[in-house]
Amino acid sequence: MTPRVLISDKLSPAAVAIFKERGVEVDVKPGLDKDELARIIGEYDGLAIRSATKVTAKLLEQAKKLKVVGRAGIGVDNVDIPAATGRGIIVMNTPFGNSITTAEHAIALMFALARQIPAADASTQAGKWEKNRFMGVELTGKTLGVIGCGNIGSIAAARGIGLKMRVVAYDPFLSAERAGEIGVEKVELNDLLARADFITLHTPLTAQTKNILSAENLARTKKGVRIVNCARGGLVDEAALRAALDGGHVAGAAFDVFVEEPAAANPLFGHSNFIATPHLGASTSEAQENVALQVAEQMSDYLIRGAITNAVNFPSITAEEAPKLKPFIALAEGLGSFAGQLTQAPIDKVTITYEGAVADLKIKALTSAAIAGLLRPSLVDVNVVSAPSLAAHRGIVIEEMTRAAEGDYESFITLSVATADQTRSIGGTVFHDGKPRILAIKGIKVDAEFTPSMIYVTNDDKPGFIGRFASVLGDAGVNIATFALGRDEPGGSAIALVSIDGEAPPQVLDKVGKLKGVRQATALHF
């Protein structure tokens, strides 16, 4: 039977042509209300969208035939991914189709700020001729600070270098080697804030990056700085920025994204040194064409041949490989997530060793899953397909090794993460019940399942620690589900990996961290 795809948002006609060329029947119905979409969605195998269509769990309940949702663009905030995954629906995006366009928009806003173009245009068209009012600044010779130097950030940095600017970059995942390749100076955030004449943000919104330009960090910036945000609303404290503009510490700001969108009102609106655009970062004819072509090709390949590309919720594997591979994918992603949640320094190298029977499986899919888990704590949009490319953009070397089984297990995976200061390793396997287990951390033997909420502690192996630790949790009403312990030698280094019911309150972690002999106490989520 010929697969059918519904395009429910405005896409380039070229996308329709590709679907038809590949043997896919396509209906174009942009602007459907949610009730009408829910009424007809059950007729389709694929749904191609942009940002307007909301793919909710309620809508998916009606999508009895749906196999794939394709987002023409990077963000999938409008798709309920867990609900789609639960129904076996692949969710694809096009992560790199609008990178150049977004970077160019940031550069355009920098020029607009430097020469006060919007205000000068309005003044001139009002019949005024205020040459003295609009004294600008040159970009040449200025320092551009790039916060987030991944795909888009590195393009913006290259444009800045082309404008004869000095470019400094802050990105925890940017290696010194990669920084050298793209011609930027890798710095810490405080150094960037103190030196930059212009700051442009190109990082996803995560718990670590929310309000990365807070009131405190804005106060650390160079007086007269100009700030551009074409990445995500919420990276800058908007009220604090308004105060910095009012006080004259920040000379100007230009935003394409806002905490609340559509932005009918905002603390920044109305300031004479603020420029706003309505989320136009990806709005060029070239970018729209690129993402439309990509999503049509990807969806057609999946519906006709079963190939999976740029899926945000599933690895690139065949139906025949899935049964054996899936539990090891879960293991690899869990090992990566464990290391990623504990690693704050820039990562230089990741080594993944596959021992025994697992070495005969499709290890590229396993490696992708491990790297996705490793990067996901800092990069929201990472998936098992895009993870290796994102790692490469940051100069992270990925090494795979295979060898015959050397220990007690038929299959074993070890993931090692190297930074400038240390190497952290974690290993595990899949037992016959299909559940992944952690069996070694930093060479210390343990035995623990991955659970939604865990506490990881490293400490000196001294009497009384377990009792003190358990008492802190008990006094706070935190229930222990499982308790895994290990040590390298009597009286040496020890670890505890504890599964708990619910979240670990920050104050509890703080108390655990202050216990005698504790070196580290970290909450982990899987």
Cα distances (Å, whole numbers) of residue 525 to 208, 212, 357: 15, 22, 28
Q: 352 by DSSP, 3-state: which?
A: strand
| DSSP-derived pairing of the beta strands 444-449 and 436-441 | antiparallel
Task: Give the Cβ contact number of residue 371 at 10 Å.
Answer: 29
Q: What are phi and psi of 34, to 5 degrees?
A: -65, -30
Residue in 71, 178, 279, 394 annotated catalytic: 279
Q: Could you give the CA distance from residue 398 to residue 430 in angstroms, rounded to a whole number?
A: 23
DSSP state of 371: H
Q: Could you give the CA distance from residue 179 to residue 167 in angstroms, rounded to a whole number?
A: 10
Active site annotation includes 261: yes
**DSSP codes, 206-262:** -TTTTTSB-HHHHHHSPTTEEEEE-S-TTSB-HHHHHHHHHHTSEEEEEES--SSSS
Residue in 177, 261, 399, 410 annotated catalytic: 261
Q: Which residues, listed in sequence order, are joined to residue 172 by a DSSP beta bridge?
A: none
Active site annotation includes 279: yes
Residue in 50, 71, 105, 232 annotated catalytic: 232
In the numeric block, which tokens belong to residue 207? 């718990």
Q: 178 by DSSP, 3-state: which?
A: helix
CB 334 within 8 A of CB 373: yes
In the numeric block, which tokens belong to residue 256? 């394409």
Helices and strands (DSSP H and E) totals, the chain = 17, 22
Active site members: 232, 261, 279
